Structure 1
Amino acid sequence: MRRRQFIRSAGAGAATIGLTLLTGGTAVAADRVGMVKVDDVRKMTRAFRETDNEFGGGATRSGLDNYLTNTVEPMLRDTRMTDAVKKPLFRAGVELRQLAGWVAYDVGHASDGRKHLREALNMSQEIEDDALVGEMFAAMSHHAAFRGNSEGAVDLALAAQQAARRSGIPALEAEAAVMEAHGRALEREQRPCLDALNRAERAFARVDTGRTPTWLAYFDSSYLAAKFAHTFRDIGMPAEAERFARRSLRMTEGYGRGRLFNTALLASTLADQQKVEEACAEARNAVRLATNVRSVRAASYLADVGRRLSPHSQNAQVQALYKQLDDIGVATPRF
């Protein structure tokens, strides 16, 4: 697969240039870490997250890794910080390191992604923050499912559920349950899969956005619908998957990469139902969205649509779609 369209220099876009200017060559100041610096980490994490959500990990990784290594990690090692600062700083550091894990995962560096998430989990456990512990396990479950490790996805989701229940945050309970459901789908365990989906739905009905942490704000009804669509598709229920994939596109602005993912997801559910023309139309929409996104996962989603359409490879629309995918470096079936 040629990845030139999905991973470019982190300095390519104006948003990325702004982050680079803020982070390039920085190092933690000599004075003791205080809450002002904790707030700075939170602000920078928010800026990196917004860029990642819109443009993908390829637009974020260099500046984020530099900031984490040269600025935040020295803060975390500073033995002079007070106890009152340690927990807020560690929480901020966990959020940043988790984001670094997602970014590495997004650009195809799975081992780096796992390393960041394990470190974020260790930090969460050190400060005994059950909510963050649950979120790290849920992220690790997501990664395992993407790699096809269904058993690992289920085990990690079950660990996430234990921490989520201790945290008392319904959105986190819903996330952990739907991650279990996806793992069960990959294992073709229909009844446990549907049971987990029911638990996710019930937990999400109890969500109070005023009590949901800001770092979990992304887990909204559109995100949940996308996970339901993935689950129904992978358990072999494409009509139900299509219904939720369409719901997943009712997204707020600022999630360009996610819109690409969900559009390709919809195309895959249509392909599974032999709705070839509709599948090609949605896949073309996803290709257009890929113009501004630098993400190996985006290439993977698009390649998956191509594979699902391979039984119809002689169809003129499928052949035209394959040409578009080839042009942007996405591998297509060859016969």
Structure 2
Amino acid sequence: MWRSDVEQRRFLLDTSYAVAVYPAASMRWLTLPGPEHPASIGSSRRIGQTDVDAVRTMATAFRDLDNKVGGGKVRSTIVQYLHSSVAPLLRGSYPEHIGRQLFGSTAELVRLAGWAAYDQEDHGLAQRYLIQALRLARAACDAGLSAEILAAMSHQATYVGRPGDAIDLARVAQIAARGARLAELESECHMVEAHGHAARQDRASCTSSLTAAERAFEQAGSARQPDWLTYFDSAYMSAKVAHCFRELGDHKRTAHFAAQSLNMSGGYQRGRAFNLTLLASATVPTDPREAVRIGRDALDIAADLASRRSLSYLRDLRYRLQSFNGLGEVAEFRQEVLELTTRRD
């Protein structure tokens, strides 16, 4: 798959979101028997801890870049690294304990490639990568990373209008997270379930999932998180809660939690663009001029990103402002959004 992506094979790039794929993948994850044993005597090249550490270092670097510049600027580089540097390691010779670490590190890189494709709204390609990442994480016996990947699938399912699938995926992710004994991760999995319920306009179920997420987050101890989970903090939780209330049409609560979400760590430029747009959207009904002021900050950030999702957020804000187009600053801002989104498409 990595080679086909590197060579830009049309059959891979033209794939669209397949509704049956994620439910089947999550069921397979639940029902496959026993742990796997990823040892290999495939070649004379012996793979050791240094090789695994190098892959982990690259995964961290790519993860940081993705957050700063958007998936469109990093996916091809991640895939090239997988094809040219990681694939030869997988074909090498290694004992089981090294194999587990190697498969886990590779799963994280493949997850990043899928997330970057999702960020560019290449949904079919994202599905293929996330499914492959889930297989690798299971081979690594990494329940935590499996939960993170399943949560990413749920995130995408809500985004493409499949909230029922998102809820099912989130519940499987919760099972994996409990197996990993990571309270923050379990909280995240409840959060993506809540978002699915909100997208279905099920306020009661959404509230129940948000309560479960808060309860799990409060149980988090001081143990060190996996590197791929360090983004999940109170600011991220606030952003997810804001998304839920936006789906439910509660502008006041959306604005409250979106404002809280801006107390975020540095380096998450794309996330800041999302959260600013979320706050601006919630502010439109009461103060469209303030919404434009906030939205302009998001527009400035999005102009430097390669993220179609960030453009979709701006399009949504532009749509919400259309009733106020008689205001000069609103009309000007809506035109600027149109120019940016049209140019990037």
Please indicate the TM-score interval, normalised by the length of the shorter structure.
0.7 to 0.9
Q: 2:214 aligns with which of 201, 214, 221?
A: 201
What amino acid maps onto 2:287 in structure 1?
Answer: K
Q: Distance in 2 between matches of 1:30 and 1:243?
A: 59
Q: Distance in 2 between matches of 1:55 and 1:249?
A: 18
Q: Which residue of 2 aligns with 1:37?
A: 51
CA contact (8 A) 2:60 2:227 kept: no
Q: Which residue of 2 aligns with 1:86?
A: 99
CA contact (8 A) 1:61 1:100 kept: yes
Q: 1:320 aligns with which of 332, 335, 339?
A: 332
Q: Distance in 2 between matches of 1:125 and 1:163?
A: 10
Q: Distance in 1 between matches of 2:239 and 2:230?
A: 15
What amino acid maps onto 2:299 in structure 1?
Answer: V
Tell me: higher relative CO, structure 1 or 2? Use CA pairs within 8 A at least 6 residues apart.
Answer: 1
CA contact (8 A) 2:187 2:216 kept: yes
Q: Which residue of 1 aligns with 2:37?
A: none
What amino acid maps onto 2:298 in structure 1?
Answer: A
How do residues 1-335 of structure 1 correspond to structure 2 at under 5 angstroms? 31-78=45-92, 80-271=93-284, 273-330=285-342
What amino acid maps onto 2:123 in structure 1?
Answer: A
CA contact (8 A) 1:165 1:173 kept: yes
Query: Secondary structure, in 3 states, of the residue corresponding to 1:329?
Result: helix
What amino acid maps onto 1:260 in structure 2?
Answer: A
CA contact (8 A) 2:315 2:341 kept: no
Query: Secondary structure, in 3 states, of the residue corresponding to 1:108?
Result: coil
Deviation of 1:316 (Å)? 2.0
Q: Distance in 1 between matches of 2:252 and 2:222?
A: 30
What amino acid maps onto 1:277 in structure 2?
Answer: R
Q: Which residue of 2 aligns with 1:16?
A: none
CA contact (8 A) 1:174 1:200 kept: yes
CA contact (8 A) 2:70 2:307 kept: yes
What amino acid maps onto 1:75 in structure 2?
Answer: L
Q: Distance in 1 between matches of 2:222 and 2:177?
A: 16
CA contact (8 A) 1:303 1:330 kept: no
Q: Distance in 1 between matches of 2:140 and 2:97?
A: 12
What is the Cα-based RMSD across aligned positions, in Å? 1.6
Query: Secondary structure, in 3 states, of the residue corresponding to 1:328?
Result: helix
**Unaligned segments of structure 2, at least 5 residues:** 1-42
Stretches (4+) displaced over 6 A: none
How many percent of aligned residue pairs carry the same amino acid? 39
Q: Distance in 2 between matches of 1:187 and 1:329?
A: 28
Please give the TM-score of this superposition, normalised by the length of structure 2: 0.84
Deviation of 1:330 (Å)? 4.7
What amino acid maps onto 2:259 in structure 1?
Answer: R
Q: Distance in 1 between matches of 2:168 and 2:71?
A: 27
Q: Distance in 2 between matches of 1:76 and 1:220?
A: 34
Q: Distance in 2 between matches of 1:66 and 1:116?
A: 14
Q: Distance in 2 between matches of 1:138 and 1:329?
A: 28
Query: Secondary structure, in 3 states, of the residue corresponding to 2:77?
Result: helix
After superposition, the C-alpha distances for 1:54-87 in whole angstroms (9 at most, x for unaligned) are 1111221221110011211232233x22112101
CA contact (8 A) 1:169 1:211 kept: no
Q: Distance in 1 between matches of 2:48 and 2:189?
A: 33
Q: Mean alpha-carbon deviation: is it higher for 177-186 or for 46-55? A: 46-55
Please give the TM-score of this superposition, normalised by the length of structure 1: 0.86
